[in-house]
Amino acid sequence: MNKTYGTIFMGTSEFAVPILKTLATSASLKKAHVEIVEVITTPDTKSGRGLKLTPPPVKIEAEKLGLKIIQPQTLIEKELPKADLIILAAYGKILPSWLIKLPTKGALNIHPSLLPKLRGATPIQTAILEGWEQTGASLFVMDEKIDHGPVIAQVNCPTAENETYTSLEKKLAELGAKLLEESLPNWLEGNITAKTQDDSQATQTRLIKKQDGKIDWSKSAKEIERQIRAFEQWPGSYCVWRMTDDKELTLKITKANPLYQHIKSTHDTGKIMYVNGKIGVVTGDGILMLERVQPAGKKEMSIEEFARGHKNFINSSLN
């Protein structure tokens, strides 16, 4: 009789959804006798203007799949089912050491980078911010250090020039799901030896805070444009426009393009001006051509629409 591998899936964000779906429905994983016994995700959070309780994406998908779900504030060993395997993807919390050691076939993590590069919580944002031409996904065995354990398998992913957080997250999630589907049966059969990461090649990402979204106009147009794409979902990329001497407006820049890279303007950084009939902002290196913005409390709109409603916008400055 073939052994069934009871599996706990742990995940929270949109990145984890395709991975959960593959784990639950893949014919090859069913053939390998992988069976989800429980899905662990984070508690619902209050969001939106009405502070309505909103379930995490993984909970929504798990409900569709008819899986057992728990959302503990704290993980307690006696409350968890016995499992041979843990599969984790973007859970959002650090696992206690007892849980990592619990499953006989290991606690495996799908991480959206080519480890040991881009360890930590923000590999997708960092790849865009730093202009990486290629990233990827890694399946690895967790240990007590963050994103440190031996790697089972990896897959490369080229990044497009206009890649946003949303588009890259989707690509990496789908690649990660396929990587799991192709690698997990061989891992369970003992046909793969995980390889120790080379710590000398490791890079670490940092946590992103709300204030990181504030645009620094002394940076280059290219750097700011990358920030806009990287922080698309959160925290956004915003600046402050002084409408009058006693009135300010926070303006989120949602789409822009760098122009005249490596050219220093004679104007002060943050200056708003027409360039070839389009609206741009002077940066520390080049002009950032604005395309779409969202004023605080308003809907997103084209920069032309915004400027038509604010006649003093051109030739003023953004801070």
| Domains detected in the chain | 5-201 (3.40.50.170), 210-309 (3.10.25.10)
- 239 neighbors 254 (Cβ within 8 angstroms): no
User: What Cα–Cα distance (Å) separates residue 240 from each residue in 118, 244, 319?
Assistant: 32, 12, 5
Per-residue pLDDT band at 261 (split at 50, 70, 90): low
In the predicted model, what is the mean pLDDT of residues 79-89?
A: 94
Per-residue pLDDT band at 19 (split at 50, 70, 90): very high
pTM over 0.75: yes
- Across all residues in the chain, what is the average pLDDT? 94
- 203 neighbors 157 (Cβ within 8 angstroms): no
pLDDT of 3 above 90: no
Q: Name which of 257, 250, 159 is nearest 211 in CA terms.
A: 250
- Across 16-20, 62-66, 100-104, least confident range: 100-104
Per-residue pLDDT band at 259 (split at 50, 70, 90): confident
The pLDDT value recorded for residue 264 is 62
The pLDDT value recorded for residue 313 is 96
Residue-wise pLDDT for 27-43, tens only, equals: 999 999 999 999 999 99
The pLDDT value recorded for residue 266 is 66
**Which of 64-68, 77-81, 244-248, 262-266 has the highest mean predicted lDDT (pLDDT)?**
64-68
pLDDT of 219 above 60: yes
HSE (CB half, 13 Å, CA atoms) of 148?
A: 8
Instruction: Write the DSSP assignment of 192-230 as a string of letters.
Output: --PBPP-GGG--B-----GGGGB--TTSBHHHHHHHHHH
Q: Please state, as a whole number, how many other Cβ atoms lie within 10 Å of the Cβ of residue 212.
A: 18
Three-state DSSP state, 126: helix
As to burial, measured by CB atoms within 10 angstroms (0-12 exposed, 13-18 middle, 19+ buried), residue 75 is middle
pLDDT of 5 above 70: yes
pLDDT of 50 above 90: no
The pLDDT value recorded for residue 263 is 59
Q: Residue 100 corresponds to which tokens in the numbers above?
A: 């990592």
**From CA 186, how far away is CA 238, in angstroms rounded?**
47
Name the phi and psi angles at 100, rounded to 5: -60, -35
- Across 11-15, 85-89, 246-250, least confident range: 246-250
Residue-wise pLDDT for 239-253, tens only, equals: 999 988 789 999 999
- Across 172-176, 185-189, 194-198, 274-278, least confident range: 274-278
pLDDT of 135 above 90: yes
pLDDT of 48 above 60: yes
pLDDT of 311 above 60: yes
Percent of the chain with pLDDT over 70: 98
As to burial, measured by CB atoms within 10 angstroms (0-12 exposed, 13-18 middle, 19+ buried), residue 260 is middle
Q: Residue 176 corresponds to which tokens in the numbers above?
A: 């990660």
Per-residue pLDDT band at 59 (split at 50, 70, 90): very high
The pLDDT value recorded for residue 51 is 79
Q: At what angle do helices 17-25 and 165-188 cross, to 10 degrees?
A: 30
Q: Name which of 70, 90, 73 is nearest 81 in CA terms.
A: 70
Per-residue pLDDT band at 265 (split at 50, 70, 90): low
Report DSSP state, residue 41: -
The pLDDT value recorded for residue 47 is 79
CA 288 to chain centre: 24
Q: Please state, as a whole number, how many other Cβ atoms lie within 10 Å of the Cβ of residue 3.
A: 9
**From CA 90, how far away is CA 135, in angstroms rounded?**
17
pLDDT of 262 above 80: no
